[in-house]
Amino acid sequence: MRNFTVVAFLLAAAAGSARAQASIDSGMTKDQVIARLGKPATEHSSANSTYLFYPNGQEKTVGMSDLVTLRDGKVVDAVFRSSARKYTGKSSSPTPVSADAAIAKGKAARAPANAADAKKAPDTKKAPDTTGKNAPAPTKKP
């Protein structure tokens, strides 16, 4: 029984290391992807494109499952958020940005470069004319 436990442990470790090494290359076929990543959770096809979706355990955090895109039966793109998967091609996914960097960038886009520039900016808001002096002249009817 002890040998069975050791063998089961070694098989589990080998399966875990195989998953940790899951790497997808451009040009792979759907069958090759499935051999490396397993059966996708969902699959969608449109015209000559197929999209394979794999759970990554971070869907609520990152907003998406891992994705492999095939065109004409060959891998053309992959977006992986799971650290257990790697795409050796050029992914269309933007480079991840930390939350702190995103917040800082958002604040910089809204704020003036410095306080002096904010004071120099012309005031484009005008108070409404309540006197009627600047009202447009009435038009004459023919």
Q: Give yes or no for residue 97 having a pLDDT over 50.
A: yes
Domains of the chain: 22-110 (3.30.1450)
The reported pLDDT for the residue numbered 7 is: 47
Q: Give yes or no for residue 1 having a pLDDT over 80.
A: no
Q: Which two tokens stand for residue 136?
A: 């447009």
Q: Show Cβ contacts of residue 53 under 8 Å, excluding neighbours closer than 6 positions.
A: 40, 41, 42, 43, 44, 65, 66, 67
Q: Give yes or no for residue 117 having a pLDDT over 50.
A: yes
Q: Which of 12-16, 51-55, 71-75 has the lowest mean pLDDT?
A: 12-16
* Phi, psi torsion values for 66, nearest 5 degrees: -70, 145
The reported pLDDT for the residue numbered 130 is: 65
Q: Please indicate, yes or no, whether the overall pTM of this predicted structure exceeds 0.85.
A: no
Q: What integer is the mean pLDDT of 81-102? A: 84
Grade residue 51 by pLDDT with cuts at 50, 70 and 90: very high
The distance of Cα 84 from the centroid of its chain, to the nearest Å, equals: 17
The reported pLDDT for the residue numbered 37 is: 96
More confident residue, 131 or 65: 65
Residue-wise pLDDT for 17-46, tens only, equals: 444 568 999 999 999 999 999 999 999 999
Query: How high does pLDDT run on average in the chain?
Result: 78
Q: Give yes or no for residue 16 having a pLDDT over 90.
A: no
Q: What integer is the mean pLDDT of 74-81? A: 95
What sign does the dihedral 62-63-68-69 (CA atoms) show?
negative
